[in-house]
Amino acid sequence: MTRTLSQQQLDTLGQLVIELPSWAFGNSGTRFKVFGTPGTPRDPFEKIADAAQVSKYTGLGQVVALHYPWDKVDDYGTLLEHAQEHGVGLGTVNSNTFQDDDFKFGSLTHEDSKLRQKAIDHHFECIDIMNVTGSRDLKIWLADGSNYPGQADMRGRQDRLQDSLQQIYARLSDAQRLVLEYKFFEPAFYHTDVPDWGTSYAQVSALGDKAVVCLDTGHHAPGTNIEFIVMQLLRLGKLGSFDFNSRFYADDDLIVGAADPYQLFRILTEVIRGGGWNNPNLAFMLDQCHNVEDKIPGQIRSVLNVQEMAARALLLDRDALGEAQRSGDVLEANEIFMDAYQIDVREQLAAWRESRGFAANPMRAYAASGYQQQIAQERVGGQQASWGA
Ligand code: PSV
Ligand code: MN
């Protein structure tokens, strides 16, 4: 088998676009503690400047996803110009109905029509922002759910959710999409209103072609075969985006590929099987937080992990695999699959990166650039941006 990427495969790899979450550059933590870090951005402009560093050294992370109202600014046209000046675009707008007291018992599913309208209006505001930034995707993750059996009428909530989503969907332009994320726990623990891909699929399918599913890799029960879900949603034409991260125990939001690089490889293998990342309908977002490590290199490591696993997935000998599968050679098929995963592509990718004008070793190049020290010195005073600010 070939252990190096052909020029054609490298060209395919070069088409990978990754969206960086603006919130990864702010402080984050757990319910126990949010640590501050010298140099943390104080506003969305500084977050974007930091995101541009990732792109500068890796050629990846060319788009920044926003979270509203965390990234509230007076003028989104100015924010867009700022992003463009830094060589990055603005991508998905993530709504946020999980930090307002009014939404304690739900948002788009709320029993109280006034509060439900408030949640719908929040999404209209997000669409207004998208109209200025040129963003295609409105991503909705709902904290809605209940903690105790009997607490809520789960069925009524599904109906109200569909009605709310229809109103939001009706506001989208033809170039925009609604992307519905699922999560089976937290902050509600007994039931959540969009717990799994099936529910998300049912809800978005009832809306129409411009509504798709977001798969966050941290939102499944341990042991879930996530690549199966990737395959199925791609097959149905309903996988709209990924929120990539890693988990050990819960929604840990760790660096993608850190906990289980093999799982990332398996997911990317199904992405290629389903048409690859040049599928314009599939957004590759990261949804991560860097609680104890520096944020910019944390993001650099993340995009490199995706790139490396994508390269290994490209090296999978699909012809040989297909033959082994058809002939029922279980162990041969498994060996071919594992073989691709085991190939160390780091040296080849370093040379390729350099040939395209990027750093051979982006982690080292960033560390040597002095940017981290510079922001630590310059960004004194003000309020550090945070998950929840
Ligand atoms: C919820 O856990 C989630 O995955 C959603 O995507 C939120 O928008 C994001 O995390 C916040 O980090
Ligand atoms: Mn997410």
Structure confidence by residue, pLDDT tens digits, 180-200: 999 999 999 999 999 999 999
Give the residue-averaged pLDDT of 280-295: 97
144 lines ligand 1 (CB under 6 A): no
Is 90 exceeded by the pLDDT of residue 109? Answer: yes
pLDDT confidence bin for 55, thresholds 50/70/90: very high
In tens, the pLDDT along 70-83 reads 999 999 999 999 99
Instruction: Tell me which of 23, 28, 68, 94 to substitute to probe ligand 1's pocket, judged by most ligand atoms within 8 Å of the beta carbon.
Output: 94
Cα(182) to centroid of ligand 2, in Å?
8
Angle CA 302–259–234, to nearest 5? 70
Q: Residues for the chain: how many in total?
A: 389
Cα(168) to centroid of ligand 1, in Å?
19
User: Given this model, what pLDDT does residue 387 score?
Assistant: 76
Helix 44-58 and helix 295-314: axis angle, to 10°? 40
**Ligand nearest to the CA of residue 68, numbered in listed order:** 1
Ion ligand 2: residues, Cβ under 5 Å = 216, 243, 287
Is 50 exceeded by the pLDDT of residue 44? Answer: yes
Evaluated on CA atoms 270, 272, 275, 281, the torsion sign reads positive
pLDDT confidence bin for 1, thresholds 50/70/90: low
pLDDT confidence bin for 2, thresholds 50/70/90: confident
- What pairs with residue 211 in β-bridges? 178
Walk me through the domains of the chain, giving residue ranges and CATH numbers: 16-314+358-378 (3.20.20.150)
- What pairs with residue 282 in β-bridges? none
Q: One-letter amino acid identity for 315?
A: L
Cα(181) to centroid of ligand 1, in Å?
9
Which atom of ligand 1 lies closest to the CA of 21? 12
Between CA 170 and CA 115 the distance in angstroms is 19
Give the residue-averaged pLDDT of 282-310: 98
Give the residue-averaged pLDDT of 26-52: 95
Cα(141) to centroid of ligand 1, in Å?
7
Half-sphere exposure of 385 (CA within 13 A, CB side): 27
Average pLDDT, the chain: 97
Q: Alpha helix locations (H) across the chain?
A: 7-13, 44-58, 76-85, 113-133, 154-171, 197-205, 226-235, 261-273, 295-314, 318-326, 330-342, 346-355, 362-369, 371-378
User: Given this model, what pLDDT does residue 389 score?
Assistant: 44
User: Given this model, what pLDDT does residue 115 score?
Assistant: 98
Cα(287) to centroid of ligand 1, in Å?
7
181 lines ligand 1 (CB under 6 A): yes
Cα(152) to centroid of ligand 2, in Å?
24
141 lines ligand 1 (CB under 6 A): yes
Between CA 239 and CA 245 the distance in angstroms is 17
Q: How far is CA 38 from the centre of its chain?
A: 25
CB 308 within 8 A of CB 341: no
**Ligand nearest to the CA of residue 188, numbered in listed order:** 1
Instruction: Tell me which of 287, 289, 302 to substitute to probe ligand 1's pocket, judged by most ligand atoms within 8 Å of the beta carbon.
Output: 287
Q: Backbone phi, then psi, for 375, in 5-degree steps?
A: -70, -30
Which structure tokens are listed for 137? 């995707």
Q: How many CB atoms lie within 10 A of CB 270?
A: 20
Cα(114) to centroid of ligand 2, in Å?
27
